[in-house]
Each structure stands twice: as C-alpha cells, then as structure tokens.
C-alpha cells in the first residue's frame, strides 16, 4: 500500500463515525479508542449508562475487584472518570427497569 493509499474503515470505525455525526460522542469515543475498540464481533458485553442510579456503585465495586487483580492504573483511572462523568450528567436517573 503506497503512502497516499487510504485504508478502508473497519466496521467499528464506521460505527464510531456515524455515532459521532449523530451526536453520540461518548459512545463513539468508547468504540473508537475506549473499551469497545477491540471488542470481537460476537463478544458479549454489559453496558451501564449514566441514567442508572446503580451504575456508579457498580463501577466502584469493579474498581475494588480490579485493584485486587492488579489491573493497570490507567484502567482504574478510566473507571473513576466514568463515575465522575455519570455523577455530573444532568439527566434524570432511575433504577434499572
């Protein structure tokens, strides 16, 4: 491939681009460079959203377990940032449906 040849976007990159253009920047970032950047096509996942009143506590529990497993500090910091973002989010919160 020459220096001017462009690589085709992966399906995840395409998804991130479309989401970003629709205003879903946080989700686009997770897909482009976050936890979802390396997800496999059929890999199971579990999502916590800012509207879930239990999400910050669930992430705190994950952090505690991650520390015991020697998860790298940058992953723990990312989890702390997610908690802070959820706590700052002005939307309505409720318990899971």
| pLDDT tens for each residue of 18-61 | 999 999 999 999 999 988 999 999 999 999 999 999 999 999 99
| pLDDT tens for each residue of 64-86 | 999 999 999 999 999 999 999 99
| pLDDT value at residue 83 | 97
| pLDDT value at residue 5 | 60
Phi-psi group of 7: left, alpha or beta (phi > 0 → left; psi -120 to 50 → alpha; rest → beta): beta
Residue with the two structure tokens 């700052």? 88
| pLDDT value at residue 4 | 55
The C-alpha angle with vertex 79 and arms to 90 and 68, in degrees rounded to 5, equals 145
């Amino acid at each position: 491939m020459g220096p001017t040849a462009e690589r085709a976007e992966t399906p995840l990159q395409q998804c991130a681009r479309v989401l970003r253009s629709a205003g879903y920047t946080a989700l686009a970032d997770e897909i482009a460079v976050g936890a979802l950047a390396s997800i496999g096509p059929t890999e199971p996942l579990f999502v916590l959203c800012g509207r879930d009143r239990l999400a910050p506590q669930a992430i705190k529990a994950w952090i505690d377990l991650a520390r015991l497993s020697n998860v790298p500090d940058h992953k723990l910091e990312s989890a702390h940032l997610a908690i802070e973002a959820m706590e700052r989010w002005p939307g309505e919160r409720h318990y899971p449906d």
